Structure 1
Amino acid sequence: MSIRVHPCFLGAAMKLAKLGDGPEIFHTIQGEGVSVGMPAVFIRASRCNLHCVWCDTDHTWNFEGTPWPHEKDEVPGYAKHRKADVTFELTPLEAAGRVMAYNCGRTVITGGEPLLQENAFLEMIGRIRMEDPDHQFEVETNGTRLPSPAFHEAVNQFNVSPKLANAGMAESLIRNPAALRFFAASPKAWFKFVVAEPDDMREIEALCGSHGISRHRVLLMPEGRVSAELDRSSAWLADVCRDGGYRFCDRLHIRIWGDKRGV
């Protein structure tokens, strides 16, 4: 498949999250979703158009000077991030080289919100496919932005995670009906919802019903950063999945490594 990127965007720097002294690109296993347990290289985009109050990757958006609250605000020593300290810039060619160095056939593009930089990621995908035509790409997105036709064609799987009221934002920010309908019609898309309490199910069912999202492509995941938090809601959420025809989605990376980055 030939991947075309507009010449204006070729070679443009990608803003990635920073991990240690380099970009947040790491080799692990997929901890969530329908490809859970599969070896994958993760590459984390910096910048997001949302600001979930419970977000576990707040270093991609909760920068100094922004007004948004976060649940860590009450944690002693927590402060908003200095943008330069948590951002690492690479060209798509450089990013492709780092990904290919792991010799893994699956890459998960996550964030932040990757679709804010889809042209740069499209260029990276094209470079990797030159060396590995069968390389599989997953994109994790919040479902508020429509992918371009070229990006949709290039990506194998979209892990769409629409946000609920428990994310602490106005519905006008977290809902793009056109994008949700697009992903609902795409055979490449799966929908993952973070569930904090039983009342969230009413919102999930209403959203799926109004946008034509089949429950057979819906995964329900307990909210939590550590195993003890996941345990508090896993049992009743598993019952909901069993009785309602949804997939239960655990957070395998947290079960194995805890609340750590780069795993």
Structure 2
Amino acid sequence: MFGKIHEIYSSISGEGISQGIPTVFVRFAGCSLRCGKTETKSLWCDTPYALGPNQGETKTLPAILDEIKALDKDHGFQILLTGGEPLEGENRTLSISIAESIYSFRKEHNQPYPASRVETNGSEKITMDPFFIFTMDYKLPGSGMENRMDLENFQILEKRHNSLDEIKFVVRDRIDFERSVEVIREQKIQTNILYSPVHGEVDAKELVEWIKIDNPPKSRLSLQIHKVLWGNQKGV
């Protein structure tokens, strides 16, 4: 089994409810979405260097597990599969194999964080598998990608009923925020909700005011702490 991996490194989780937890990141190469790109506005993806499927190195499952072990010798870090898009195409099969292997080992040896967290863009079907925890984007109108969202994922999240799953809304403007509130109501979302501003287009303080007024259930502001600490660098 092979897959295209852009990078594997250790740091802390930068956003969401797992923010601050020591984490090994496995970044896949390849994503078919191009968020934020319009005639007048630029791509906002914070990992454009991993968008192409050829922007990664072919690696086997054993090689990937060995790299994870080298970074986390005591098996105490959260494992986070990200991208690119870890559930797209051949990445999906490899993601499942990585997560199954880690889950089986950590359950058997009573290690923390047995389930791998997956950051996924909302266009790929998520699963009921217990070896995954999901941070799932819902792409709002400002992304230009809302028509690519798989709405069945909301039903799967409800069935999973996992207290660690989360849905992330990246907000470009007030229209995006209002649409997010509509989606929450239409889909009767009970999962943890993250709001993140598009850097340079929405002031985080303004987004806070919108959240305070509408108060969507189980919602919170999520800023990227790794950028606060290290700036816009890779591998941190």
Structures share a fold, TM > 0.5?
yes
Correspondence for 1:101 among 67, 70, 80: 70
Q: Does residue 91 of structure 1 match 2:67?
A: no
Contact 1:46/1:112, CA 8 A, preserved across alignment? yes
Structure 2 counterparts to residues 56-135 of structure 1, below 5 A:
56-62=46-52, 83=54, 86-103=55-72, 104-116=76-88, 117-133=91-107, 134=111, 135=114
Structure 2 counterparts to residues 207-226 of structure 1, below 5 A:
207-214=183-190, 217-224=192-199
Report deviation, 1:172: 2.7
Q: Residue 126 and residue 95 in structure 1: after superposition, are their counterparts in 2 closer, same or farther (change >3 A)? A: same
Structure 2 counterparts to residues 160-171 of structure 1, below 5 A:
160-169=136-145, 171=146
Root-mean-square deviation over aligned CA pairs: 2.0
Q: Residue 120 and residue 248 in structure 1: after superposition, are their counterparts in 2 closer, same or farther (change >3 A)? A: same
Deviations 1:207-232 (A, max 9, x none): 22222213x621111112xxxx38x6
Name the CA distance, whole Å, in 2 between partners of 1:62 and 1:130.
Answer: 31
Correspondence for 2:118 among 128, 131, 139: 139
Deviations 1:128-149 (A, max 9, x none): 3454333341110112222344
Which one-letter code corresponds to 2:234 in the other structure?
R
Structure 2 counterparts to residues 184-199 of structure 1, below 5 A:
184-188=158-162, 189-199=165-175
Correspondence for 1:248 among 210, 216, 221: 221
Deviations 1:66-116 (A, max 9, x none): xxxxxxxxxxxxxxxxx3xx2111111111111121224311111111112
Deviations 1:20-59 (A, max 9, x none): xxxx111100111001011101110111131213111122
Residue matched to 2:38: none
Residue matched to 2:40: none
Contact 1:46/1:113, CA 8 A, preserved across alignment? yes
Unaligned runs of at least 5 residues, structure 2: 36-42
Q: Does residue 50 of structure 1 match 2:33?
A: yes
How many residues are aligned here?
214
Unaligned runs of at least 5 residues, structure 1: 1-11, 18-23, 64-82
Report deviation, 1:193: 0.9
Report deviation, 1:260: 0.8
Residue matched to 1:4: none
Using the aligned pairs only, state the percent identity.
26
Contact 2:5/2:57, CA 8 A, preserved across alignment? yes
Contact 1:162/1:191, CA 8 A, preserved across alignment? yes
Name the CA distance, whole Å, in 1 between partners of 2:115 and 2:150.
Answer: 27
Which one-letter code corresponds to 1:29 in the other structure?
I
The TM-score normalised by the length of structure 1 is 0.74
The TM-score normalised by the length of structure 2 is 0.82
Name the CA distance, whole Å, in 2 between partners of 1:237 and 1:40.
Answer: 28
Name the CA distance, whole Å, in 2 between partners of 1:129 and 1:179.
Answer: 22
Residue matched to 2:5: 16
Name the CA distance, whole Å, in 1 between partners of 2:186 and 2:46.
Answer: 29
Residue matched to 1:5: none
Name the CA distance, whole Å, in 2 between partners of 1:124 and 1:50.
Answer: 24
Report deviation, 1:184: 4.0
Which one-letter code corresponds to 1:60 in the other structure?
A
Name the CA distance, whole Å, in 2 between partners of 1:58 and 1:118.
Answer: 20
Contact 1:27/1:39, CA 8 A, preserved across alignment? yes
